[in-house]
Amino acid sequence: MSNPDESPLLLVGWDFRQTPVEVRERLAFTPEKIEAVVARMRQEGLLAECVIVSTCNRSEVYGVRGPAAVEGDPLLALARYISEFHGVPHHEIEGLGFRHMGADAVRHLFRVSAGLESLALGEHQILGQVREAFRFASSTGHTRTVLNRLFQKALEAGKRVRNETGLNSRPISIPGVAIELAQKIYEDLAPRRFLILGAGETSSIFYDLLVARGAKNIEVVNRTLEKAEALCQRAGKAYPWEELASRLPQADVVVSATSSTEPVITREDVRRAVAQRRGQPLFFLDLGIPRNVDPGVADLNNAFLYAVDDLQEIAERNRQERQREVGPAMDILEEELQDFLAWLGSLAVVPTITALRRKFETIREAEFDRSLEKLSSLTPADREKIRLMAQSLVRSLLRRPTEALKDEADPTRRLERAEAAQYLFDLDLDSKD
Amino acid sequence: MATSILLGATALLLYLGAEAFSIAHLRQEKAWLGILARSLLTLGFLVHFGALEIGGRITHTVPYRDLPTSMSLFAWMVAGSYGILRLRHREGSTGPFLLPVAILFLAISLVTHPVQAPAPDPKLTGALFAFHVTLAILGYAAFTLSFVLAQLYLIQIHQIHRRKLGVLFSRLPALDVLSRMHHTSIGIGVVAMTVASTLGLLWAKQNWGTYWDPKVAVTFLLIAVYVFCLLAGRLLGWSGKRIAILSIAGYFLLLFSYTIVNLFITQEHVFR
Could you read off the pLDDT of A127-147 as tens digits, one per residue?
Answer: 999 999 999 999 999 998 889
Judging contacts by C-beta atoms under 8 Å, the chain A residues touching residue B238 are: 279
- pLDDT tens across A385-422, in order? 888 998 999 999 999 988 888 887 776 777 778 888 88
Residues A175/A209, Cβ–Cβ less than 8 Å: yes
Nearest CA in chain B to A272: B237
Q: Count how many pairs of residues, chain A against chain B, have C-beta atoms within 8 Å.
A: 61
Q: Which domain holds residue A30?
A: 4-167+325-345
Residue B267 confidence (pLDDT) above 80: no
Are residue A147 and residue A184 in the same domain, yes or no? no
Strands of A28-156, DSSP E: 47-54, 58-65, 98-101
Bond prior to B63 in cis (omega within 30° of 0): no
Residues B102/B79, Cβ–Cβ less than 8 Å: yes
- Contact state of B237 with A278 under an 8 Å Cβ cutoff: yes
Cβ burial, residue A301 (10 Å; 0-12/13-18/19+):
middle
Nearest CA in chain A to B29: A163
Are residue B245 and residue B127 in the same domain, yes or no? yes
Are residue A341 and residue A401 in the same domain, yes or no? no
- Contact state of A301 with B174 under an 8 Å Cβ cutoff: no
- Contact state of A302 with B239 under an 8 Å Cβ cutoff: yes
End residue of a domain, out of B101, B120, B139 = B120
- pLDDT tens across B201-225, in order? 998 888 877 777 788 889 999 999 9
Structural domains in chain A (count): 3
pLDDT at A195: 96
Are residue B108 and residue B148 in the same domain, yes or no? no
Are residue B104 and residue B151 in the same domain, yes or no? no
Are residue A8 and residue A149 in the same domain, yes or no? yes
- Beta-bridge mates of residue A195: A219, A254
- Contact state of B237 with A301 under an 8 Å Cβ cutoff: no
Are residue B106 and residue B47 in the same domain, yes or no? yes
A56 catalytic per annotation = yes
Nearest CA in chain A to B176: A186
Coil, helix or strand for A307?
strand
Are residue A224 and residue A301 in the same domain, yes or no? yes
pLDDT band, residue B269 (cuts 50/70/90): low
Residue B228 confidence (pLDDT) above 90: yes
Which among B29, B169, B233 has the least Cβ separation from residue A279? B233
Task: Say if A320 falls within a structural domain.
Answer: no
Cβ burial, residue A92 (10 Å; 0-12/13-18/19+):
exposed
Give the whole-angstrom CA distance, residue A334 versus residue A424: 31
Give the whole-angstrom CA distance, residue A312 versus residue B82: 38
- pLDDT tens across A296-336, in order? 999 998 899 999 999 998 888 888 989 999 999 999 999 99
Are residue B190 and residue B113 in the same domain, yes or no? no
Residues B177/B238, Cβ–Cβ less than 8 Å: no
- pLDDT tens across A199-231, in order? 999 899 899 989 988 888 999 999 999 999 999
Query: Among A26-40, A247-261, B24-38, whose mean pLDDT is lowest?
Result: B24-38
Give the whole-angstrom CA distance, residue A218 versus residue A72: 61
If you ran DSSP here, which 8-state letter would residue A26 be given? H
Are residue B26 and residue B130 in the same domain, yes or no? no
- pLDDT tens across B130-179, in order? 899 899 999 999 999 999 999 999 999 999 988 877 778 888 999 999 99
DSSP labels, chain B: -HHHHHHHHHHHHHHHHHHHHHHHHHHS--HHHHHHHHHHHHHHHHHHHHHHHHHHHHHTS-S-SSHHHHHHHHHHHHHHHHHHHHHHHT--TTHHHHHHHHHHHHHHHHHT--SSPPPP-TTS-SHHHHHHHHHHHHHHHHHHHHHHHHHHHHHHHHHHHHT--SHHHHHSPPHHHHHHHHHHHHHHHHHHHHHHHHHHHHHHHHHHS----HHHHHHHHHHHHHHHHHHHHHHH---HHHHHHHHHHHHHHHHHIIIIIIIII-STT---
pLDDT at B6: 92
Cα–Cα nearest to B136, from B190, B85, B94: B190
Q: Which domain holds residue B78?
A: 1-120
Judging contacts by C-beta atoms under 8 Å, the chain A residues touching residue B174 are: 183-187
Backbone phi, psi, residue B126, to 5°: 100, 155
Cα–Cα nearest to B81, from B187, B223, B171, B226: B187
pLDDT at B62: 73
Residue B226 confidence (pLDDT) above 80: yes
- Contact state of B161 with A298 under an 8 Å Cβ cutoff: yes
Are residue B84 and residue B142 in the same domain, yes or no? no
Are residue A138 and residue A226 in the same domain, yes or no? no
Task: Say if A60 falls within a structural domain.
Answer: yes
Nearest CA in chain A to B162: A298
Are residue A277 and residue A143 in the same domain, yes or no? no
Alpha carbon of residue A288 to chain centroid: 35
Alpha carbon of residue B158 to chain centroid: 25
Task: Say if A28 falls within a structural domain.
Answer: yes
Task: Say if A431 falls within a structural domain.
Answer: no
Are residue B138 and residue B105 in the same domain, yes or no? no
Query: Which residue in the list A21, A36, A56, A393 is annotated as catalytic?
Result: A56
Residue B127 confidence (pLDDT) above 90: no
- Contact state of A186 with B237 under an 8 Å Cβ cutoff: no
Give the whole-angstrom CA distance, residue A18 versus residue A108: 15
Structural domains in chain B (count): 2
Contacts for A269 with CB less than 8 Å, ≥ 6 apart: A245, A248
Task: Say if A260 falls within a structural domain.
Answer: yes
CA atoms within 13 A on the CB side of A262: 1
pLDDT at B248: 96
Are residue B37 and residue B57 in the same domain, yes or no? yes
Which among A169, A185, A301 has the least Cβ separation from residue B241? A301
Give the whole-angstrom CA distance, residue A166 versus residue A124: 12
Alpha carbon of residue B159 to chain centroid: 27
pLDDT band, residue A3 (cuts 50/70/90): very low
